[in-house]
Amino acid sequence: MSTNSTTAAARPVDLARAAESRGYEVTIANIVCAVFALVLVVLRVYTRLVVVRKRFWEDFAIVMAMVGVSSVPTYLASAAQKSCWRGLLMGSPMH
């Protein structure tokens, strides 16, 4: 009998690898992006206030947006530490 080449063979699951978490990689990427965005916002505000010496409503809005966006990952990280949220955020059933 010939085997059908379009079906994938069932590979055994490596339990050690399946238990690994890539959360630290995601956390590092989030921190790098947040720092990059913060540097850009600080440079824009510095340029507008010191160099141009003019303030507009969008300067206040961008600072408020940066504060708001920065608080969301902090909230999610603290929620992930709590056992009641761990099942929802990590995809495993709660016991």
Asked whether residue 31 is assigned to any structural domain, the reply reads yes
Q: Tell whether 54 is covered by a domain.
A: yes
- Which pLDDT score is estimated for 45? 92
User: Is residue 25 helix, strand or coil?
Assistant: helix
Residue pLDDT, tens place only, 20-29: 777 777 778 8
Query: In terms of residue numbers, what domain contains 74?
Result: 24-79
Residue 61 pLDDT level (bands cut at 50, 70, 90): very high
Instruction: Please check whether residue 62 lies inside any domain of the structure.
Output: yes
Would residue 40 count as lying in a domain? Answer: yes
Domain count, the chain: 1
How sure is the predictor about 18, in pLDDT bands with cuts at 50, 70 and 90? low
